[in-house]
A and B are shown apart, each in its own frame.
Chain A
Amino acid sequence: MSERFHDICLVVNGEELRERVDARTTLVDFLRETLSLTGSHVGCEHGICGACSVRVDGAVVRGCLMLAVQCDGTRVETIEWIAETDEILDLQRAFIERNALQCGYCTPGMLLSAQELLKKGGVPSRATIRIHLSGNYCRCTGYQAIVDAVEAVARERSGGRASE
């Protein structure tokens, strides 16, 4: 059984951690159960719904499709940290003003995916926003408010320049 558990060293939300993990533990279970970082959620457990989205070395990944052991040597960022650093303050504010969340379960993943798109710069079309967010399921809003909020932040960030 010795190969079942692995020592990993990684940075989670700015803190360097050394942990022993079961090879089968997914990243999102590791974050939620071992580190009590419950902001990332478990929805479908097979990579469809996007509720477990987190950033690994800057890329948004599905926390349910990556194993914790694969994160050895990486830098992991979750919604708690991204919120704390004020990186998406404008996006959070827009979501609140536009009521772009109802139950809020999809929201951490939705914010991360939206930020990934927004970081490319410019003002994406509504269709582009919708396609980019199609990997994040929301059962409450019908998506329009989310698209409105993302579009508004894109405009603000690019100083009101014209759409793509």
Chain B
Amino acid sequence: MKIAQDSPPVLSALDRPNSYIGRSVPRPNLGRLTQGRAQFVSDISLPRMGHVVFLRSPHAHAIIRNIATSAARTSPGVIAVVTGAELAQVITPWVGVLTHLKGIKSAPQHAIAIERACWQGEAVCAVVAPTRAQAEDACELLEVGYEELPAVTDPETALDPGTPVIHPDLGDNLTFERVHVAGEPDRGFAEADAIVETTFVFGRHTGVTNEPRAIVADWNPGEQRLTVYQGTQAPHMMQNLFAKHLGLEEHQVRVITKDVGGSFGIKVHAYADEMAAVALSKLLKRPIKFVADRIESFVTDIHARDHRVKARIGVKNDGTITAWEIDDLTGIGPYSVYPRTSGIEANQIVNLTGGPYTCPNYRARARVVFQNKNVMCQYRAVGHPIATAVTEGLVELAAARIGMDPLEIRRRNLIADDAHPSSGPSGIKFEALSHHECLAHLDAMMNYAGLRAEQQRLRAQKVYRGIGFASFIEVTNPSAAFYGVGGAKISAQDGVTMRLDAQGAVICHTGVTEQGQGAEAVIAQVAASSFGVPIERVRVITGDTDNTPYGGGTWASRAAGIGGEAAWQAGKALRRNVLACAAPILQAKPDDLDVRNGAIVDRGSGNERLSLHELARIAYFRPDTLPPDFQAELVATRHYVPRKWPFAFTNGIQASYLEIDVESGFVTLLKHWCVEDCGTVINPQLVDEQIRGGVVQGFGAALFEHCVYDERGQLLNGNMADYLVPMAAEMPDIEVGHVVTPTADSELGAKGAGEAGTAGAPGAVMNAINDALRPLGAKSLTEMPFTPARVLAALGKV
């Protein structure tokens, strides 16, 4: 078995005796998940629970003239039929804007549409019954009088004077626009020996979490309290939103998140149907369950990436990049999604394009427009796959134009490893990056020279293989700069409370959440190391707003870097508290003692003086034996938020090796490599698996995944048979390597790793495809996904 190797020890303040930092410790929550004993929200059932089913608009844009509900109301079992107007009596609408995205605008969105449906799939009426089947039966009896309106579906014409304005009160269909000019782009292009210009197109796709979105809401009028079981990445954020829109105070709302069947950014938003389920519980005074079925998931889970980027690069014959220019256009559906907005992806593309390189001459424009399709918002690696594919696509096209090796042009332009702190062309700040060391590592790991030789040899046999690269940067550990400064109640800080139980074990409550990344394991590793107990003596509690410190949850690769640092500090604080208690018992000074391997020891000799179990017994049951002026505090809470840098940028480089069947257009992925630098590696296996999983989601974007809409705004492939996701048989093995540059912002030094794979893979695959086809005189492929039909079209065969 290829169990991930423990990383070589990096000696630092983290190198405590029996440290688990840097070790591939198995995750504590896997036992239940492998025995069918997990509890996903879709598994939860409460007494008197009703299931809600939504009737959804079949039209992309239509006025709702009337809804005939009488037949549905008398259908067997039906508890209630509720329209948007009726539900609006208990829940207020919302507008998905933030003040730091200057000029962003959107219209009020209701939990259930009132008067008008703005995309195919928007809920227009709710039916509640004891079973989902009964509610579906009744739903079929609803009759809605629609008056179809013209649908705005093409972003290219959304701003034309002749195009209907989806929300007339807003004046036009422009959600958000950002223009950024840095350095001297005109001079840069004028100095170039060659200018490469092309248009990149990124297909709309979505997260396809294996467990669809699910929620159980339980309003208890006796307690005046709402308990919500929700598969979410951000329980405290949802607590705030439920309270705000139902007219409650936050202490009246408890959000519980147990096992979550995949998230990837899909489950970090406020969805109208989930808000409706919660409002229905308040209205009907009983538990309400909503689980999206797969077709509902496709038309209501946020989509992402639908971007068209016109792009230019200037390059000198010696490989020096002289200027960048991008013009991004994206259509985000009829509403900016609440509360994070749908302007962030375009904003990130402006921020990140050109980011790994020294060339400062940059002109960017991004426009975000409304359309009558499902909403788009932040999905894993927000903006990164687009910015990376555009940047890296331009770099390799430029290299091909001037006849330079693709790794060599990067060596000549990547920001030097010793040039930090530094900044990217958009002004983003880098504390410390390791592009060149990563590149050198990758070059050796993949045996680049050997692969090139193999590629040439096979070309002679009419076997067409390609090698493509993508250097990347990744935003992790976001500070309040991401959302808080814009007015969103989304916590950038996170906390950990550690408590010694009566047998000397440690209970660790954390605001970060677990959706499969391994946050529970990472928090346990850090807590055990920092405090000084075997990891088996640590139990981690997550996902409960009643029982965890206030925090942001798990998104933007923040759980390990931010939650981990809070655990590190909490462990140190608890150790101090425990030693303060041990000192009078042992007639010693606290500074002469330490906690190691579950016992209090002499700091110098390491000899055990007192077990934690015995200390807990004395503190909890015989405090009368302690000095009269001493009160033991066997609990400690610490919080952490990055302060010195708005984001902890990570970096790395990926390489793709693939083969193209020029007769069928099929692309076969042969091998993939990624070298990344996420700072201190807490658990090497978990980092590697985040990278691999992320890379494969990037492969999905590059080759398969596409939400195909027609011109009337109808999704044509909203099911798992027609919407393709990567399967085991078509995936290659992926080799992962690491360079370690810890962030100095925290003692732990850990940055995030959840999005690096998804950020780089599509660009690397694109470059490899073009590398493979270049000797055949094919047109460059820049429109994802790269389907066999598009490959054949590039070859001029269809």
Contacts and interface: CB of A to CB of B under 8 A. Distances in A.
Interface stretch (B54-62, B256-264, B528-536, B595-603): B256-264
A139 B694 CA distance: 9
Contact of A142 (B3, B31, B209, B734): B734
Contact of A102 (B31, B689, B725, B730): B689
Interface in A128-164: 129-131, 133-134, 136-149, 151-152, 155
Interface stretch (B12-20, B34-42, B361-369): B34-42
Nearest to B761: A142
B692 interface: yes
Contact of B1 (A40, A78, A142, A152): A152
A57 B56 CA distance: 40
B587 interface: no
Contact of B729 (A99, A111, A130, A152): A130
Contact of A141 (B43, B293, B692): B692
Q: Size class of B's contact patch?
A: 35 or more
B34 A148 contact: no
Contact of A105 (B133, B261, B692, B730): B261
Best-surrounded residue of B2, B515, B721 (most CB of chain A within 10 A):
B2
A83 B34 contact: yes
Interface of B is mostly: loop
Interface string B250-271: 0000000001111110000000
A142 B30 contact: no
B262 A143 contact: no
A103 B294 contact: no
A107 B34 contact: yes
A98 B24 CA distance: 9
A95 B32 CA distance: 12
B710 to A, nearest CB: 22
B445 interface: no
B46 to A, nearest CB: 13
User: Size class of A's contact patch?
Assistant: 35 or more
Contact of A139 (B518, B721, B725, B728): B725
Contacts of B516: 101-104, 140
Interface in A5-58: 22, 24-25, 32-33, 36-46, 48-49, 51
Interface in A39-87: 39-46, 48-49, 51, 78-80, 83-84
Nearest to A113: B728
Contacts of A79: 35-36
A108 B211 contact: no
B26 interface: yes
A44 B294 contact: yes
Given A105-B261, A140-B693, A142-B734, A43 B36 contact: no
A106 interface: yes
B261 A145 contact: no
For the complex of A and B, the 4 pairs showing the least CB-CB separation, nearest first, are A39-B36, A104-B33, A102-B516, A105-B261
Interface of B: 1-4, 26-27, 29-31, 33-40, 42-43, 45, 131, 133, 207-212, 259-264, 293-294, 515-518, 685-686, 689, 692-697, 719-721, 725-731, 733-734, 757
5 contacts: A96-B27, A97-B26, A105-B40, A111-B34, A142-B694
Given A39-B35, A105-B211, A137-B725, 9 more contacts: A46-B720, A80-B36, A99-B685, A102-B262, A103-B260, A104-B30, A104-B38, A107-B33, A142-B726
Interface of A: 22, 24-25, 32-33, 36-46, 48-49, 51, 78-80, 83-84, 92, 94-99, 101-108, 111, 126-127, 129-131, 133-134, 136-149, 151-152, 155
